[in-house]
Structure 1
Amino acid sequence: MEDSYVLELTEPKFKDFHLVYCGYAQCEACHSYGPATRPNYIIHYILEGKGVYQVGERKYQLSAGQGFLIEPDTLTFYQADPEEPWSYLWVGVGGEEAGKYIRDIGLNGNQLIFQYEDGERLKRIVLDMLRHTKVTMANLYYLQGRLYDFFSALTEDEVIDSCVDISKESIYIQKAVTFIRNNYSRGLNVADIAVHMNVNRSYLYTLFKNNLGMSPKDFLTKFQISQAREQLNLTDLSIEEVAEACGYRSCLVFSKAFKKENGMTPTEYRKRRRLETKHRPSAGPEEWKGIGRKVRFTIEEENEVTDKWENM
């Protein structure tokens, strides 16, 4: 069983990208969902405890500070740990451009998991959504804004944000970075990026040096290694499997690149990280009280909105 609080919009006002539902759940030991499919994208973020998420043959052991993506019409299964059952929040999104927004935060079919340090920030956003239960057009616009706040938080990328200096060339850099983020697992090289950008390699090099302070090759390597760190932290994949998932066809080349970036081998990094105590943001159930067990907004017509409320 789970104790959950849910906000659901059954007929959203915004067509290209919109909130479908959001919520919070505190699960009992071994509580599970699935195997099942969902019609929308859903982002889960773990506030406390541990659990497992499985998609096909891929199985991820996750804990507080980590999250996972459920893609539409994809068979998934997830279950709370028997000793430290998790609590998590979730945000479901839909719309014609929803996939594009999901890719903007670095998630896709190859990258289903993520790590985010400021869990309190995500929790405040979802709490705020759940508290806006008065059914008005103003609240629908407000919830849309908070959805953008949620995605804004998740788009903050350490590698990119620490380097980018806004300039007239930034649109080209954004296009290149998006291409890398969405295709890094395919074994990209600089030539592939240049072809996608429809520029020669010399101009691509100048763009990256002027805007990011590094060459395209260095940026690609840093991004691949950053994804490898996440895979090593969040999964039990072998080093060979991590290398392949991050675009390296040679495990030896991957290990050398990883050690150059991190000062230790992938195996050493994984062992050290698992010995470290992870920060787990608090999110006691008392913070969610007064919200209502289930809240649903039903928009039947643009100016006719009804709600259903089930009290605890």
Structure 2
Amino acid sequence: MLLFHFYCIIAAGQCKWYNVFGICVFVVWAIMIEKYYFHQSDQTDLNIYRCGIQECKPGYTWGPGIRDHFIVHYILDGTGMFSNGKIQKKLFPGDGFVVFPDCLVTYSADPENPWTYSWVGFHGLKAETFLNKAGIYRESPFFTYNADNRLRDCLSDMISEARRNTVSELMLLGHLYIFLSILIQNNHKTLQNTSRYMNQEKYVKKVIEFISKNYSEKISISEIARSIGLDRSYLYIIFKKTMKMSPQEYLINYRIERAVSLLRNPDLTIGDVARSVGYEDRLQFSKIFKKVKGISPNQFRKMQNSEPQKN
């Protein structure tokens, strides 16, 4: 059985309470938040955690913070900014962004034209696979859908279903599958009808995906280029243009960020960490780590150990 509960969050200031047809809504000046939460098992291909709609106050900001599940936001009106520390992007109606689990993000409503967005939060064994098929990745968590109102309607249908006293798990999941299938179809059409620039972006995403899956192996940029069917020099040009760094720099940064996480595990030696992120030579790893982070892996680990423990 699907367990369900609902609540509203008030930011600040004066507010009014409305109860219409069993729908509980708080209005805080120009803010309206309507949220529905669900309890389902993670051990399925896809399950829905929550859905809602929010009309934000000017400058309203969430973060910096992380989530433990996926949340897709679709902008209905207004504008705002999204940042994950590496990419900062202004978004408009018809745009969307995804908060991936354990990724530090910040998003803010525009001070002059604050956004209103609907969202759906979910998890599951195939959740990230479906998003990747839609062309949405941790490193580039954006999409645009302006073809029609199907995405908007799908989110609206989820909220309408959640308002019912007897929420149907199958109905909610059905809406979520339709929502993701629309995004996947949209990505396929974009790839078929895209401009040269969008083709370049597609290849860059393929490189990012390849690195995320194979960074622990001894891979070269030439191998990556061959795997996606591009000349190495051309790959360098389009990757540098899009990401503002070379493929090699991106690979190194990805490995070092992963190493930072592994170094917090006291059971792993520096050599273990080096091999886990694609470096057979411990000294080479230490040299590259110091070049990127300014300190050696040993110094980094000592600093972590010397920090006071949080209760």
TM category (shorter chain) comes to 0.5 to 0.7
The correspondence of residues 261-276 of structure 1 with structure 2, limited to 5 A, is none
Q: Match for 2:95: what amino acid? A: Q
1:78 to 104, 107, 128: 107
Secondary structure at the counterpart of residue 145 of structure 1: helix
The Cα of 1:53 is off from its aligned counterpart by 0.9
The Cα of 1:247 is off from its aligned counterpart by 6.2
Is 1:128 matched up with 2:157?
Answer: yes
Residue of structure 1 in register with 2:135 after alignment:
106
Please identify the structure whose Cα radius of gyration is greater.
2
The correspondence of residues 132-147 of structure 1 with structure 2, limited to 5 A, is 132=161, 133-136=163-166, 139-147=168-176
Secondary structure at the counterpart of residue 207 of structure 2: helix
Unaligned 5+ segments in structure 1 are: 164-178, 194-215, 229-239, 250-312
1:125 touches 1:150 (CA, 8 Å); kept in 2?
A: yes
Task: With a CA cutoff of 8 Å and minimum separation of 6, indicate the structure with the bigger relative contact order.
Answer: 1
Aligned residues: 195
Rounded to whole Å, the distance in 1 between the matches of 2:246 and 2:124 is: 29
Is 1:69 matched up with 2:98?
Answer: yes
Rounded to whole Å, the distance in 1 between the matches of 2:207 and 2:166 is: 43
Cα gap change, 1:70/1:153 in structure 2, threshold over 3 Å: closer, same or farther? same
Residue of structure 1 in register with 2:226 after alignment:
191
For each residue in 1:89-128, what CA deviation from the matched residue of structure 2 results, as whole angstroms up to 9, or x when unmatched?
Answer: 1111101221212211111122111221136211111111
Residue of structure 2 in register with 1:49 after alignment:
78
Cα gap change, 1:245/1:44 in structure 2, threshold over 3 Å: closer, same or farther? farther
Q: Match for 2:130: what amino acid? A: Y
Cα gap change, 1:39/1:243 in structure 2, threshold over 3 Å: closer, same or farther? closer
Is 1:30 matched up with 2:53?
Answer: no
1:50 touches 1:64 (CA, 8 Å); kept in 2?
A: yes
Q: Match for 1:134: what amino acid? A: R
Is 1:116 matched up with 2:145?
Answer: yes
The Cα of 1:56 is off from its aligned counterpart by 1.4
TM-score normalised over the length of structure 1:
0.54
Cα gap change, 1:11/1:45 in structure 2, threshold over 3 Å: closer, same or farther? same
State the superposition RMSD in angstroms. 3.3
2:54 touches 2:118 (CA, 8 Å); kept in 1?
A: yes
TM-score normalised over the length of structure 2:
0.54
2:42 touches 2:124 (CA, 8 Å); kept in 1?
A: no
For each residue in 1:246-270, what CA deviation from the matched residue of structure 2 results, as whole angstroms up to 9, or x when unmatched?
Answer: 9699xxxxxxxxxxxxxxxxxxxxx
Percent identical among aligned pairs is 27
The correspondence of residues 292-311 of structure 1 with structure 2, limited to 5 A, is none
Cα gap change, 1:56/1:189 in structure 2, threshold over 3 Å: closer, same or farther? closer
